[in-house]
Every structure is written in structure tokens, then in C-alpha cells.
Amino acid sequence: MLVFIFEEQRKKNMKSVEIFDKLWERYDSWYERNKDIFIKEINFIKKHLGEFKLGLEVGVGTGRFAKELGIRYGIDLSTSMLKLAKSRGIEVVKANAELIPFKRVFDLILYAFTLCFLEDPIKSLKSARDVLIEGGKVVICTVPKDSKLAEEYMNRRDNPFYSNARFYTTSEVVKMLEDSGFKVIKIDFEDIKYGRDLLVVVAVGRKDVLT
């Protein structure tokens, strides 16, 4: 039964890649049509990033978040989106989030609305841990499963992007990080539409698991 569940999730994630690759213009134009929300998202994430020297965004998409937040590198599986991200000045690599193809060079890794689309979030976080320098941090921004906004996304049949998404509660995100060798140092929420619509979790690698 467990194998069947993982296989179904794998198929959903592959379908998500195809959707983003095909509808990248529709995805990117959302931020133009909803600039007020985008600005709130950027400001919410920015206040939790702190100072950093070299950042990587996992699931960089079209590069909007990376550009606004000063993150230099990004990985994604959508070729179409990576082309646009590159045009925005991001150094991009087509790569799977579960196997980040870098050495231990980053002091910041960001997951901005990416976690819900990953085939294996824990595997991705372990890979992120392995490319963070000592003292580096991972910042996750997502829509929590127990929010009204997540409920809205899950019930919308006209939204192809979230049709294959899997949302997580705050406690589930924290457990994923802890199981991946991180220590959570901050949890915060932001109101976008209904209240507590966005969740940010900041974590650092535990010294006992760093190699």
C-alpha cells in the first residue's frame, strides 16, 4: 500500500512539472495581476532571511522570488520557467529538488511555495542540508494545510497548478525538518486573505548530523 501511495505521488509530481512547463506564462502573469499579494509574500519572506552571502532557491520557477530577495542561484525541473528565471539574472540549473547538484557552499536555501509540489520533501531537505555551510539556514514559506487559503486552493477545479499539490500542517513541516537533520529556530504566520494564510519556518542544520 505504501509503495502505491508513493507511486501515485510521483505521478502527480511529474504531472505538475508538465503543467508548469506548459503554462509558465499563465503562472508568471499571476504575479502581475496580484502585485499586492506578491509584495506581501516578498516582505514576509524577506524579514526572515536575515543577512546571507550566497543563496539558492529550490523550485525557483520563473525567478520572481529569487530576484526580489537577492538569491543568486535556483534549481527547477521546468525548462520553460528556467529560461525566464535566467533572463531575470538568476544562475539556474535544471535539477531535481531531491538531489541538489552543488557542494557545501550556500548559507541560505529557500523553498518558496515549493514544498507542496515535491515528490519526496524529506529527501529534498536532506539534500539541502548537505549543501549548506555550517551555520547556514533553510527557510520554508508555504500555505499551511489547516488554513482557509489551502482549502480554497484544494477546492478550486480551475487552478491547474494546485490540482496536484499536497499541503502540510505546521507540525508536519517541523517534523520534516527535524527528520532531515535540522533544528527549527523560528515559526511565523502572515495574513494574506483569511488569516494565518502563510507559514514561514526557519531552521539550521544540527551540528551532530553535519559531516
Q: Does 15 score more than 70 pLDDT?
A: no
DSSP state, 48? H
- Which residue's C-alpha cell is 536555501? 109
Q: What is the average pLDDT across 155-159?
A: 72
pLDDT at 134 over 90: yes
Range scoring the smallest mean pLDDT among 83-92, 95-104, 115-124, 200-209: 200-209
Three cell numbers, residue 163: 490540482
CB 211 within 8 A of CB 143: no
The residue among 45, 77, 208, 211 whose CA lies nearest residue 132 is: 211
Q: Are 86 and 62 in contact (CB under 8 A)?
A: no
State how far the Cα of 170 lies from the Cα of 142, in Å rounded to an integer.
9
C-alpha cell of residue 136: 547556514
Tell me: pLDDT of 10 over 70: no
Q: Identify whether the C-beta of residue 111 lies closer than 8 Å to the C-beta of residue 60.
A: no
